[in-house]
Amino acid sequence: MYITYIIIGITVVISFLGYSNQSMMQNLIMNPYMINRKQQYYRFITSGFIHADHMHLFFNMFSLYFFGRTMEYIFNMLFGASGGYYFLALYLLGIIVSDIPSYLKHRNHPQYNALGASGGVASVIFASILFLPLQKIYIYFVPIPGVIAGVGYILFSWYQGRKANDNINHDAHLYGALFGLFFCVIIYPEVLPNFIEQIQNWQEYR
């Protein structure tokens, strides 16, 4: 749980500094054109620690607070002292991987920018859903089993990403979520049969 708190603290500090320093914001933001032309690969990471506004920051960190603690606990149970490293890898690689499709799509578009921890947060949320598919997620105060909320989230992100008619990077949400699932299956293959067993015995877990 300590790593979750550290990530939240660092993200809040950097985001607040960025609000009042546009030069800093421009140097950290995800700009595929600058990565492609000037090899500024650090932007794949730094863009996950800045946010557009206070609400953007709040929703990402609020989600990370709840699901991050859960995943830290699970990884510590599974991997002991190495659990924290697995959690950190899940989060940071989630930020990087979720930005790759945007980079490939917009590397020749100087005006395109993206920012926020959504890809990493989505990786953590979907890792949690994979381990605990029937745990309730509250959406507008309505409890929904995680697996159902997850399927809806993926379909919505895919649909909105194809429309591309707002300023939200839905591709980062989608690929961050998929990466979270992939990462957990690779490092702990037993999670897949455990997931299936929980779904098959749905009534017992209610």
Q: Which of 176, 191, 74, 199 is nearest to 125 (CA)?
A: 176
So what's the pLDDT on residue 170?
79
Segment 72-94 shows an average pLDDT of 97
- Based on the structure, what is the number of domains in the chain? 1
The range of the structural domain enclosing residue 85 comes to: 2-205
**For the segment 1-33, what is each residue's pLDDT rounded down to a tens digit?**
699 999 999 999 999 999 999 999 999 999 999
Q: Given 3-state DSSP classes, what are the helix, strand and coil percentages for the chain, each rounded to the nearest 5? A: 75, 5, 20
> Mean of the per-residue pLDDT values for the chain?
92
d(CA 155, CA 159): 6
pLDDT category at 203 given cuts 50, 70, 90 is low
Find where tokens 């000037």 sit.
Answer: 38
Taking phi first (over 0 means left), then psi (-120 to 50 degrees means alpha), and beta for anything else, what does residue 120 get?
A: alpha
Backbone angles phi, psi at 146, to 5 degrees: -55, -40
So what's the pLDDT on residue 93?
98
Segment 178-201 shows an average pLDDT of 95
Please report, for the domain that includes residue 35, its CATH number: 1.20.1540.10
